[in-house]
Structure 1
Amino acid sequence: MEETPQELPEQTADNDRIILVNIEEQMKTAYIDYSMSVIVGRALPDARDGFKPVHRRVLFGMYELGNNSNKPYKKSARIVGEVMGKYHPHGDASIYDTLVRMAQGWTMRYKMVDSQGNFGNQDGDPPAAMRYTEVRLEKFAEAMLEDLEKETVDYQLNFDDSLKEPTVLPTRIPQLLVNGSSGIAVGMATNMMPHNLSEVVDGCIAYIENNDITCEELIDYVKAPDFPTGGVIYGMEDVKQAFLTGRGRVVVRGKCHVDTKPSGREQIVITEVPYQVGLDALTNKIGQLVNDKVIDGIAHVNNESNQREGNRIVVDLKRDAVAQVIINQLYKFTELQSSYGINNVAISKGRPKTMNLRDLIVEFIEFRMDVVIRRAKFELRKAEERAHILEGYLKALDHLDEVIKLIRESRTPDEAKATLIAKSKEENWYINQSAFEELTDELYRQEQGLSEIQAKAILELRLQRLTGMERDKIVDEFNDLLKVIAKLKELLASEKLRFDLIKTELLEIKDKFGDARKSEIQFLSSEMRMEDFIKEEDVVVTISHLGYIKRTTATDYRQQKRGGRGAIGSKTRNEDYVEHLFVASTHHTMCFFTEKGRCFWLKVYEIPEGEKQSMGRALQNLMQIPQDDKVKAIIDVGRLENKEFVDSHYIILCTKQGTIKKTHLADFSRPRANGVNAITINEGDELLEAKMTDGNNEIMMAVKSGRAIRFPEAKVRPTGRGAIGVSGIEVDDTKDEVVGMICVNAEDKTRNVLVVSEKGYGKRTAVDEYRITNRGGKGVKTINITEKTGKLVGIMDVSETEDLIITCKSGITLRTSLASIKESGRATQGVKLIRVDEKDAIAAISKIEEQEEPVEITEPTGELPVDGDTTETPSPENTTGDDASTDIDNTENTTETE
């Protein structure tokens, strides 16, 4: 039950006025005011320059004293007294502690204060008193104070309103990310890790070049924290979480190695320790654990660190001790492995905010943009003010006799000034515009006569400036100022130019102060992916008829002219030939579909690499494929971890007897070593082809007799992996069968349908020439089959920007541009693509992105016959004429000049 305040006795007029307030509300208001004062004014850094008020005031105080890097050192007590008396009345201890920290190379990733004297050490020894030490600014800190005098930042009154101090420093360096910060406020805290300057600058430039860059992409530039004491960052998962959310954890291990002494005993030498870990404290901790028998196997431990050789803690082991076991125990029980919580809280626009990596970079770049604009406006104003005075000088020099006469006749300077102004306006004094290179009204507008500022400057002009040579100097200076004014106005009018300037200044900072990483990065076994160690590149994967597979660099296949002889593609066993050939990235996953309807998975980088002529390795040795089964279709499904891609795509399966089936790609996104069932195959049938679609395509199927059908993908509803499927095309002849299936987009006019016969004939035809029908029909003619062409062996969707790779059963391959293949009607015979020997036939066709390569032809060697003729006589069939539907040009059947 709340107590009601007692009524106070009636007040007299002489008493002070008393106001009744609720004590709870008063305490709440007072505490909130106090907490916000601590949060904003003491404990948390500003996201723009990365400083707390005490750091900013120390640097500003040194700047005001002229305590620069090219000047002599000043006593630390002098700096502390200056800062405490003018800007930071919180005691000399806090100011000196701040000054000391900014001078310690093992505390700051990049020092801001150049020190002289005892400033402590990494063993934990304290610094000398401020009266004994001396300091001055580092060049690194001067880059944060640069342009301060150019009105680039706002100023505020100090604690007693007698002086002004900057609210933020116009830093050119992303200080908050580079040196980090830590502090405890009221109800919140911050703990930000230091990072490598070169990496942070690269991240800032990446954002400047692409404002839509994501936080995940920025991690490729800013890889991890980088501590001044080095060490090894152990595990990256929590670090990435901190980059993405602003909160996380980083585990740091000391760096050590094992040496063997002349006596044969081993010793562990620790050369780097985690951030903020004292060397003496670590040595004492190890000794304590040995005395308490927590760690066995250590005979002696000693801190042998010195300034010449650096950090060195030597742990001597007993004769029967295992060094790696002792190292793991040191990681577990001592600070040789330390964990640091990351909590990126900073003041953004006056409020505390938890910020991820992108937020911190955006805040800095936006601040730099504001600084650049304010600096340009200041410089423009100063340039125009100086140009205004020079204009007055030139007007006076053009009317020199009149000016001297007016001054001599005036009794006082004020009278002379007034007379000059009146006379110049009366006689319309202007400078001769033809005397200047780029003087225009748009750039710089003259005023009639002299202004008060110009008249005052003329009266203060020294007589030596009246000489002819001095006049030329004034003209040159005026012209230079006009160029500066033009450049500054252009800068203020263009955001792109301002971004380019920020980028240039960042690169200058990187060149001047950037260095290599000190902290190594070590991934945990659970975080390591083989893809991280494999170069991502396109490779050609080939699979032979008997099931031998290999990958080859795509550039090994040289482009040749259509109708050429081809080159030997693979050495195969007798009766074997290359049956599948395709291009994929080494980081992608391949799905292998067998003729019995099973699906297996294999990473492209897991496929053994071989030369173009090598046989490869049996698929049964890479996947658990039964001996009586055989791979019939391969799909590059990209990265299965991309859930958005997997959920929006389907697998279309087709059998030789014309069955078609559609299944979600997600059903194939969980690889199993022994494979999964992709489709139920009827007796006497087998799987022929598999394609991946986005659900909005049209399906085309072709049979050996030369017919093809086209129907919408929507006609096939998705079913599970164990389903049989539905009819796609009618196959009524026991000798006929489906030879291929493609998925096409009718709206893409750049793609055509390519069909190839077993005797080397082929053609490109527009998709629209095949009318849309219902699935399950007979289809329409796709190529005119004759004894010369042979049966249809393949169908493919292609564009003119791709190359065609033809593989014969003999092992010969040919690569030719698809643009060289004539586009013709649906029922025509086509043109000759490759010369096929009488006993040979085409086994497989594939396509590859066209590359800039010399057009050449390589004659086969070895057991293959060599044809010495460079031209081929047209066959009698071509000279006598064909059926009216045949479209073959005689010239297309001759081999082109090599």
Structure 2
Amino acid sequence: MDEKGKVLLVDVKDEMKEAYLSYAMSVIVGRALPDIRDGLKPVQRRILYAMQEMNLRPTEPYRKSARVVGDVLGKYHPHGDMAVYEALVRLAQDFTCRYPLVDGHGNFGSVDGDPPAAMRYTEVRLAPIAEEMLRDLEKDTVDFVPNFDESLKEPVVLPASFPQLLANGASGIAVGMATNIPPHNLRELVDGLLYLLDHPEASAEDLLRLIPGPDFPTGGKIVGRRGIEEYFREGRGKLVIRGEATVEEIARGKQAVVIRELPYQVNKASLVEHIARLVEEKKLPDVAEVRDESDREGIRVVLELKRGANPHYILRYLYKHTALEVSFGVILLALVSGKPEVCTMPQALKHFLDFRREVILRRSRFELKEAEERAHILEGFLRALDLIDQVIALIRSSQSVPEARRRLVEELGFTEKQAQAILEMRLQRLVALEREKLEEEYRDITAKIFRLREILEKEEVLRECIREELRRIRELYGDERRTRIIEEEEKEEEATPLIREEEVVITLTRDGYVKRVPLATYRRQGRGGKGVSAVATGEEDFVSTMVVTTTLHRALLFTSWGRAFQLPVHQLPEMGRQAKGMHLVNLLPLEEGERAVTLIPIRDFKEGKYLFFVTAKGRVKKIDLLELLSVTRRGVRVVELEEGDELEGVFTTCGEDRVFLATSQGLGLSFKEEEVRPMGKAASGVRGMSLREGDRVVGACVIRQNETLLVVTSSGMGKRVDPEEFPVHHRGGMGVRLLRESERSGKVVGVAAVKGEEELLLSTQKGLLIRVHTREVPIQSRVAQGVRLIRLEKDDQVTSFAVVLP
């Protein structure tokens, strides 16, 4: 029906489409999405503006929240009172906002999900940083529009002095779109803005160096950088957020897992309840008690463990099955020129800088106009003081104020405004001191006019003004980062499937078959025993490497081509004692002709550790263990080998060790590790030992205090030798006799440094394995042949051995 009451026929489909589009745009623009400039939704903007109009500044007393809600409803936001109060509450919650804009007094809810007190009980005022959102609002910095009933004016946007959208983040669901922006550290944001001012074409990668990623008010950890890089480049990304939990020793020698920080927006009470339910359902049988010891000092949730429990197992389970680790989908969507747009991080910061440029220009024009008007009046005052006798005589002889004003303009040449100001001037301005004040004010206002004109006319002066204001914000409100960012590999390690820590033996055959077997499978035997079957190898295959580690460690595997791969030990196939194992091609991308040489377990990657490489031709190389932190199952080259050479051994050092190299023909060389400097992964190394014709390096180790050198031969012979029998030489020499070579002793298989408290696992070509104690291996001279460690069949020989720590 039209205005005249005439019924109009319309297509219901078109009418519904038009009505729904109008509704959708109303929700998008007027309710759910923040503006890219001040980062606020309309209700938030109206709350801050209304509080300023009520003079609720940080230095003023608190006022009831109901009063603020009433003003916002009655003047600017005709919607539900609870919607306004909820928005007000969120602006005051320090666990929701990284930099709260409202200073709340009373119960404003908690991380336990407790609701805030009713608005009649709570009180509010503006937080100090909120004044930076409203600064210069009265100086024509932004446009004003009529409110809903056109009785008042309200700002379209606030003249924000800092990037509130990125500092506090935002979330909202509109029609057909949503936004979810994480909070960031203000100090880092300012650093990024300052860099962008000087480098307008800066990329996301450039900004990532200054703004590492989100900084949540509840702290926690962000696992991996991939999601951060994605939303910096594309405006969308997925973050994995994890709470901060540590293992602590508590009373009576027990351990506890203590949760001190939660992922952003995770309800603590629900998390504690979920953990307690898992304990009750026996899914966390090693947890004896769950306590929430949180107080005003911070969050503290204690999971007291039973004796012998593995706290790292508990942590991995919590990350996998509870809200201690959650995902955060970033969508950097905001209103740009009134339209919804997904922005990259550089774009979002540039939009803010463009807005600040506009605000400062408009403020400068406003201040320049005021300054010029004031200067004009001051010029009139100063000229009037110079002509004071004439001015007084003219005023006294005038019959009325309009006449006096007219005569000042016509007879003495003042302007209308100057004449009016002179007529309103108090007589005290005639004293000499007042004249000095006027002259000083005129000099100041002249300098201000010059400065403002420079801002308006010179781009570099304008940029410097923006810089100064950003630096002031950083100095006043910048703080330290709360959220840590850890690498993806650390997550991968901590997200290990739920298995208990167990000592295992990893065997690797020459042909590339690998498996793990529980260490308890092999019972200890005396020296000279026959051993038990450990691997059912083929006729041409044999065990080449054997290590003892636990299921919670990682294994670095090195190949003959000088490549390194990394795998969690638990991902290696667990098989029976006599099983052959799984071929490495099923686990790693090995090339044809490439074979696995050795495998070493790594408990953790710590600064100060090195990997020492030895090749069959006697070349050596050392790299920092941290260089291999990012190595995955895809592999990376760590040693460049010359033609005909291959990697023989790898072991860890501390940087000041004594290195020992042994050859198959029974020669050994000892030198200081300092003679080999750390190198990059692309280096080929330096000469470590000179070799005789037909000889090759078969073993290497480090010798530390109170250790002896264990030597094992292919015929099953072995001995321990005092390291003092091997003088320290320089690298590159041929060494001294390690073993008197004979048909009975056979070739040297390898060497190891032991203290006599360890156990020894020997493996043979036919797959037999024996476990003996190293104290049963006697200490002999370096030229002795050794004693029998294992009885071998005629066509069998020892191929490898491993030392088991006590």
Which TM class, normalised by the smaller chain length? 0.5 to 0.7
* Aligned residue number for residue 283 of structure 1: 272
Which residue of the other structure, out of 465, 482, 490, is the alignment partner of 1:501?
A: 465
* Aligned residue number for residue 377 of structure 2: 389
How much does 1:547 deviate? 6.1
- For the 8 Å contact 1:548–1:617, the answer to whether it is kept is no
- SS of residue matched to 1:96: helix
* Aligned residue number for residue 878 of structure 1: none
How much does 1:71 deviate? 1.0
* Aligned residue number for residue 483 of structure 2: 519
How much does 1:256 deviate? 1.3
Distance (whole Å) between structure 2 residues aligned to residue 197 and residue 268 of structure 1? 32
Residues 38 and 395 of structure 1, relative CA distance in 2, 3 Å threshold: same
- For the 8 Å contact 1:550–1:609, the answer to whether it is kept is no
**Amino acid in structure 2 at the alignment position of 1:520:** R
- For the 8 Å contact 2:65–2:124, the answer to whether it is kept is yes
Residues 550 and 385 of structure 1, relative CA distance in 2, 3 Å threshold: same
Distance (whole Å) between structure 2 residues aligned to residue 138 and residue 407 of structure 1? 52
- SS of residue matched to 1:346: strand
Distance (whole Å) between structure 2 residues aligned to residue 621 and residue 397 of structure 1? 89
* Aligned residue number for residue 153 of structure 1: 142
* Aligned residue number for residue 461 of structure 1: 425
- Please say if 1:262 is aligned against 2:251: yes
Normalising by structure 2, report the TM-score.
0.63
Residues 182 and 419 of structure 1, relative CA distance in 2, 3 Å threshold: same
- Please say if 1:332 is aligned against 2:325: no
* Aligned residue number for residue 354 of structure 1: 342
- Please say if 1:104 is aligned against 2:111: no
Which residue of the other structure, out of 445, 450, 453, is the alignment partner of 2:414?
A: 450
- SS of residue matched to 2:369: helix
- For the 8 Å contact 2:618–2:689, the answer to whether it is kept is no
How much does 1:344 deviate? 0.8
Residues 20 and 524 of structure 1, relative CA distance in 2, 3 Å threshold: same
Which residue of the other structure, out of 214, 226, 234, is the alignment partner of 1:245?
A: 234
Equivalent residues in 2 for 1:633-712, closer than 5 Å:
none
Residues 389 and 305 of structure 1, relative CA distance in 2, 3 Å threshold: same
Distance (whole Å) between structure 1 residues aligned to residue 33 and residue 333 of structure 2? 7
- For the 8 Å contact 2:184–2:216, the answer to whether it is kept is yes
Distance (whole Å) between structure 2 residues aligned to residue 382 and residue 28 of structure 1? 51
Residues 88 and 477 of structure 1, relative CA distance in 2, 3 Å threshold: same
Equivalent residues in 2 for 1:466-485, closer than 5 Å:
466-485=430-449
- Please say if 1:123 is aligned against 2:112: yes
* Aligned residue number for residue 58 of structure 2: 69
Normalising by structure 1, report the TM-score.
0.56
- SS of residue matched to 2:251: coil
- For the 8 Å contact 1:548–1:616, the answer to whether it is kept is no
Q: Deviations over 1:75-120 (max 9, x none)?
A: 1111111111111111211111111111111111111111111112
Distance (whole Å) between structure 2 residues aligned to residue 266 and residue 469 of structure 1? 78
Residues 107 and 387 of structure 1, relative CA distance in 2, 3 Å threshold: same
Residues 111 and 90 of structure 1, relative CA distance in 2, 3 Å threshold: same
Distance (whole Å) between structure 2 residues aligned to residue 237 and residue 501 of structure 1? 36
- SS of residue matched to 2:327: strand
Residues 118 and 216 of structure 1, relative CA distance in 2, 3 Å threshold: same
Residues 164 and 612 of structure 1, relative CA distance in 2, 3 Å threshold: same
How much does 1:190 deviate? 0.5
**Amino acid in structure 2 at the alignment position of 1:60:** Y
* Aligned residue number for residue 307 of structure 2: 319
Q: Deviations over 1:547-603 (max 9, x none)?
A: 677899xxxxxxxxxxxxxxxxxxxxxxxxxxxxxxxxxxx999968589x999xxx
- For the 8 Å contact 2:249–2:255, the answer to whether it is kept is yes
- Please say if 1:379 is aligned against 2:343: no
Residues 314 and 614 of structure 1, relative CA distance in 2, 3 Å threshold: closer
- Please say if 1:37 is aligned against 2:26: yes
How much does 1:505 deviate? 1.2
Distance (whole Å) between structure 2 residues aligned to residue 599 and residue 112 of structure 1? 64
How much does 1:249 deviate? 1.2
- For the 8 Å contact 1:61–1:83, the answer to whether it is kept is yes
Residues 15 and 332 of structure 1, relative CA distance in 2, 3 Å threshold: closer
**Amino acid in structure 2 at the alignment position of 1:297:** D
- Please say if 1:143 is aligned against 2:132: yes
- For the 8 Å contact 1:591–1:599, the answer to whether it is kept is no
Residues 217 and 620 of structure 1, relative CA distance in 2, 3 Å threshold: closer
Distance (whole Å) between structure 2 residues aligned to residue 176 and residue 628 of structure 1? 71
Which residue of the other structure, out of 205, 222, 228, is the alignment partner of 1:216?
A: 205
**Amino acid in structure 1 at the alignment position of 2:424:** E
Residues 624 and 146 of structure 1, relative CA distance in 2, 3 Å threshold: same
Q: Deviations over 1:228-264 (max 9, x none)?
A: 1111112221221122111111111111122233333
Equivalent residues in 2 for 1:79-94, closer than 5 Å:
79-94=68-83
Distance (whole Å) between structure 2 residues aligned to residue 303 and residue 31 of structure 1? 48
Distance (whole Å) between structure 1 residues aligned to residue 97 and residue 248 of structure 2? 31
- Please say if 1:294 is aligned against 2:289: no
How much does 1:470 deviate? 1.8
How much does 1:347 deviate? 0.4
- Count the aligned residue pairs: 544
- Please say if 1:175 is aligned against 2:164: yes
Structure 2, unaligned stretches of length 5 or more?
493-563, 566-604, 608-616, 625-635, 648-652, 658-671, 694-806
Distance (whole Å) between structure 1 residues aligned to residue 689 and residue 329 of structure 2? 49
* Aligned residue number for residue 133 of structure 1: 122
* Aligned residue number for residue 794 of structure 1: none
- Please say if 1:492 is aligned against 2:456: yes
Structure 1, unaligned stretches of length 5 or more?
1-7, 425-448, 536-544, 553-587, 601-605, 630-898
| Identical aligned residues as a percent | 45
Q: Deviations over 1:486-519 (max 9, x none)?
A: 1111121111111111112111111111111111
Distance (whole Å) between structure 2 residues aligned to residue 66 and residue 214 of structure 1? 42
Q: Deviations over 1:401-439 (max 9, x none)?
A: 222222223222122212221112xxxxxxxxxxxxxxx
How much does 1:37 deviate? 1.1
How much does 1:124 deviate? 1.5
Distance (whole Å) between structure 2 residues aligned to residue 230 and residue 119 of structure 1? 20
Equivalent residues in 2 for 1:427-446, closer than 5 Å:
none
How much does 1:615 deviate? 6.5
- SS of residue matched to 2:104: strand
Report the aligned-residue RMSD.
3.7
Residues 591 and 277 of structure 1, relative CA distance in 2, 3 Å threshold: closer
How much does 1:131 deviate? 1.2
* Aligned residue number for residue 779 of structure 2: none
- SS of residue matched to 1:263: helix
* Aligned residue number for residue 153 of structure 2: 164
* Aligned residue number for residue 343 of structure 1: 331
- For the 8 Å contact 1:279–1:303, the answer to whether it is kept is no
**Amino acid in structure 1 at the alignment position of 2:16:** M
